[in-house]
Structure 1
């Protein structure tokens, strides 16, 4: 405050003085220009996951460590292995130069692997620095102590409470979790102040702002929260908030709310884990853990987080074995996860227990879902199609009686379409698929609609209607991409690979098979759910592709597909067919698009997603999706790929006009 006062006085009295200051917060002087000095960049987790990437990244943080270590251990250099270890250490230290320098100095007396193996805060080993410098520069704790002591009592209290969050958090979470009538009645000004004082980092996420504590700042805050003596109160508040969030997301699992809530929960993945951990490590809270894990059924499956879901559901079921509605629900949810991973024997065990528990407590809803997924498991795992049809029909009958419509009841329609397809009843398969797709689209539902589109594509492939099958599968991919349903994308790319062979493109087939294998493996699943009929067909097409290309070329293209990142995989899968496809429906010459719709259409033609279009045009993703839907309706196209091709042709025609 004193620096700000004297600076303002100097600037006011003369126009010939410029002042350059470093500070943890702005001085608040009129005309001040603020430049943030962030921590040093560190390699991301993907770069550190593979030891072969040691030479592929450059990191100033790692370079700083090496330079400072060489100053205390002459001749010290990093090889590939130790460079990766130092990169992990720098990431753990948030790229803070002081922390990196202190850690480098300790390398003289403490081996690097011992530094990395220490759990918890690194305060205890980062204790000796330059004795000639300020106290706050001699230890990492001293630096944070200095900053903490400059905060008001209310800021100190909020800082400590923020340690309950894992990863990032938003203002609504802070307000719900960390406020109280006595000390922190209103978090708005305190959050702003802590941001200004560089205690809290801000992260732009679309149109919203999220906050984050660096790990060292968070570890320090956790110590202070423990000292305050009411740690459990705020950790319970945190759990309660994210339990409510999980249950609200479940209520929005039908319709366009799927996208918004899945994106929101993906941001909160670390907080959801922390809340579940609290439930399963705190005596008396296991039942709540079951409740929360079960409420996240849509998130686990639609976002490709099958491993996460199965891990937490397994722990929760082991922690609370008493019959309850929460247990019955968790059992059919984990059975579903196991089934789509191809672990059908385990899935069946869970479903049988679910039926028994549901019957003992009179839970008809859980019983219906157990029957529905028992049918799906019989279809995918055992190939008992008649039994599967019986179970699925019984489950859908219960849903019809209850009048409930949600993603799971729509999924039942997609499952019936698949069982009819595998049974050879293709007209019935297409009827169920079309009915489910129509219902899903009317409700703007993505997840189950995409599975019905996949089943429709499989039925059309069976009828040898390859262009129509391809269009249906690509439309499914677009819906699945919006949810990050990478397992679903893998099942679509598998059938597209078969179509590529039928259309005379073995190179595309090999690459699509590689894409499908990688996406499926990431989810911990077997290709095509391990279904014997589908896997046998896959093997036959893979052998045909290999024969057409030769082993060397096949392996080359397949590995190229495996190495593609998710978005690149999507882009490749959505490419036009190279053979002669069926001509798309020709839109009327009287189609009139508004200027905004033309602008959105051009961006669709460039291959942008709705989210990217929203960012480019500074509109909400929902508004962007609405524009795309209206353009599709006006032009008579069913897919974005068809629309993109039409727009490209129209622009080409316009460019030739005089």
Structure 2
């Protein structure tokens, strides 16, 4: 991806161009002029005409203050998820009960950026609604939409894109052929006797770039003359059924259909079966989902490689490893063929089974040294996991699988910044009735996970209702695991609502139940950290330290990083409390780096707040105030009114008092305003800077290392963990 940076801070996510851009000079200029004078521009045209490539080319030449951000909408099947897709592309995660649109409006209100919405045609109503509202309330925003139809929003400027001109089409074929066949010489200076056939081939393909790309992939096996001969046959077969369709649509379908017919039977079969994937996929998934009935698993790699060579698939490097992707138009064509084979239901079930299995593996491996790998894997697989959830939750006999899948992904909803989406799936899951023991167990898990998510969002009423139902049904069915989790999360609820004695009682009981059933994972360790917070809030900081040191040891033994970060936070507070700012900073830096990698917003903001307190203790009051301003910008996304609680507010108040005393009110407020204008990545970067030599400062009122200082309270409960980061 294109990583536009200013001062080391990413300002965009445009993909890098991997192939040479050919032609389109007048269209590039027209689109650039439209963006100069209009805030909403839509590039329209038939599928495969090159709309996305043109838009990306022009967008890459723009330099708004806060960057250029592309949202790929092709994997979005439900219009309800358009807002979520934009939130995710911008790197935003909101753990409040706010709708994602409210999150977008808050984020974009003061920013200057270009938003590229790519592939709007199948979700045009949602895109139109979102775009109109964003443009109306974010004056620094410009939107470049790409689709087969306009959004029909007031003020929209439409730039229709026609096929390539003949000379450009020939050039594109020559360039792509040269890339695939070094020395093939399909340029004008080396066409030789094939010059006229190449021109005719480009004309017959109507200059549509996708069709030409597919043709270039065949030049190694067929001459232009041979392709023309085969193209004639396929035109008649594939355009005779619907003469009312637009000529360009018939031509594109012909181009894809022609490429399809040139494939071997095994290649056509794999093409059809791969159409069940949404977004990208890896080789192992393709081997499992697509094998059988004419395609052995050990042959999938060779057949997939053949499709890759023919540009039916593209290959991409990701944090989760090598993955493959099918263009949306090509996938839709394969989907039609899959339905025609009568094998669609079986393949979709295999797709669901694979992703249920993947979620099971990821949940287990979350408590291991592969925790970060798991986070990256689920990020990459999220479109397919959504597809599996949708399939399971809409099939009457598969509700228990949907409930199981929604619950098994708890670590992703909670630990990786997707509380809002997780809650949507969980609420849908618990409304269903699933028969049998498996169904009962799956629904109980979905209930306690739903309660956990609602706790973290600050939705006390819904959290309590879900957890009470889970506890009641678990006791009725004698399910000790579900009882333990329901009790644990009810203890979390007591903790965040300042009922410390009840929180301690429930958390101790839940931990005892976990030991009895042999349960040990990140949830259990978080329960111990939460108990430590309850002890600290009641004045026993040494016991809190003991509990968190134990969590730290277990985490290090198992390679666990997420729960460890919250233990480090408590230990860092204790270090500061005991007058050890250097140790406190080391612990907090470790905590903040981990939370940031996991997209954990609450973990990040808690660490920044405490780092501000450490920074003022080191003698840099101005930087401490800047960090407080940055934290203030992050807090609204967490979802809970932490600053209304005496337990959570102490570090902020102590830091503010010391900084105001040293800077004066006017200078302090100026530094806070500067920090509030920073992005989350910028705040995290500043917080992690190495400080100068510590400067001893008088302890603010209510803090210290003596007995009187024991009244100071730790900043926040790890149970209030969010999943949002600096994007």
Q: Corresponding residue for 2:361?
A: 248
In the alignment, the residues of structure 2 paired with residue 93 and residue 515 of structure 1 have an alpha-carbon distance, to the nearest angstrom, of 41
Measure how far apart 1:340 and its partner are: 2.2
Match of 1:165 in 2: 277
2:204 is matched with which residue? 135
Is the contact between residue 617 and residue 695 of structure 2 (CA under 8 Å) also seen in structure 1? no
1:314 is aligned to: 427
Verify the 8 A CA contact 2:447 2:467 in the aligned structure 1: yes
Q: Is the 8 A contact 2:629 2:671 kept in 1?
A: no
> Is 1:209 equivalent to 2:328 in the alignment?
no
Structure 1 runs not aligned, ≥5 long: 1-40, 47-51, 102-112, 583-658
Question: Which of 435, 443, 454 does residue 338 from structure 1 map onto?
Answer: 454
Q: Among 636, 640, 645, which residue is 1:526 paired with?
A: 640
* 1:267 partnered with 2:226: no
CA distance in 2, matches of 1:370, 1:157: 47
Which residue pairs with 2:52 in the alignment? 95
In 1: Cα distance, 2:292 partner to 2:611 partner: 56
The equivalences for 1:455-474 within 5 A come to: 455-474=570-589
Q: Is the 8 A contact 1:414 1:452 kept in 2?
A: yes
- The DSSP-based 3-state class of the residue aligned with 2:588 is helix
Matched ranges for 1:18-167 at <5 A: 67-68=26-27, 77-79=34-36, 81=38, 84-86=41-43, 95-96=52-53, 116-119=120-123, 129=163, 134-137=203-206, 139=248, 140-167=252-279
Q: Comparing both structures, which one devotes a greater share of its residues to helix?
A: 1
Distance 1:429 1:486, change over 3 A: same
1:221-263 Cα shifts (integer Å, max 9, x gaps): 3333333333222222111101000001112222213222222
Correspondent of 1:479 among 577, 587, 594: 594
Q: Distance in 2 between matches of 1:528 and 1:64?
A: 56
CA offsets 1:568-614 (integer angstroms, 9 cap, x no match): 443322222335179xxxxxxxxxxxxxxxxxxxxxxxxxxxxxxxx
Q: Is the 8 A contact 1:62 1:86 kept in 2?
A: no
When residues 459 and 131 of structure 1 are mapped into structure 2, their CA distance, relative to the original with a 3 A threshold, is closer
| SS of residue paired to 1:398 | helix
Query: Structure 2 matches for 1:360-439, cutoff 5 A?
Result: 360-380=476-496, 382-439=497-554
State the Cα distance separating 1:273 from its structure 2 match: 1.4
5+ residue gaps, structure 2, are: 6-10, 59-116, 125-145, 151-159, 167-201, 208-247, 697-727
Does the aligned pair in 2 maintain the 1:371–1:395 contact within 8 Å? yes
Q: CA RMSD in A?
A: 4.3
Over 3 Å counting, the alpha-carbon distance change for 1:434 and 1:79 in structure 2 is same
Q: Which structure dedicates a bigger proportion of its chain to strand?
A: 2
| CA deviation vs aligned residue, 1:433-481 (integer Å, no higher than 9, x gap) | 1111122112221111111111222333444543333322222223334
Other-structure match for 2:719: none
Cα separation, 2, equivalents of 1:377 and 1:295 = 21
Equivalent residue in structure 1 for 2:440, among 304, 308, 324: 324
Which residue of the partner structure matches residue 220 of structure 1?
Answer: 333
Tell me by how many angstroms 1:128 deviates: 7.7
Given that residues 430 and 456 in structure 1 are in contact (C-alpha distance below 8 angstroms), is that contact kept between their aligned partners in structure 2? Answer: yes
Give 2:301's aligned residue. 188
Aligned length: 520
1:561-640 alignment runs, 5 A limit: 563-564=678-679, 566=681, 568-580=682-694
Q: In 2, are the aligned partners of 1:512 and 1:558 still within 8 Å (CA)?
A: no
TM-score, normalised with respect to structure 1:
0.69
Query: Is the CA contact (8 Å cut-off) linking 1:61 and 1:90 kept in structure 2?
Result: no
State the distance in 2 between where 1:511 and 1:401 align.
48
In the TM superposition, residue 147 of structure 1 has moved relative to its aligned partner by: 2.6
2:379 is paired with a residue of what secondary structure? helix
How far apart, in 1, do the equivalents of 2:373 and 2:120 lie? 38
Q: 1:492 aligns with which of 590, 604, 607?
A: 607
Higher relative contact order (CA 8 A, sep 6+): 2
In 2: Cα distance, 1:122 partner to 1:217 partner: 16
Displacement of 1:531: 4.9
In the alignment, the residues of structure 2 paired with residue 307 and residue 446 of structure 1 have an alpha-carbon distance, to the nearest angstrom, of 23
Cα distance in 2 for residues equivalent to 1:431 and 1:257:
27
Q: Deviations over 1:348-371 (max 9, x none)?
A: 222111111211211111111111
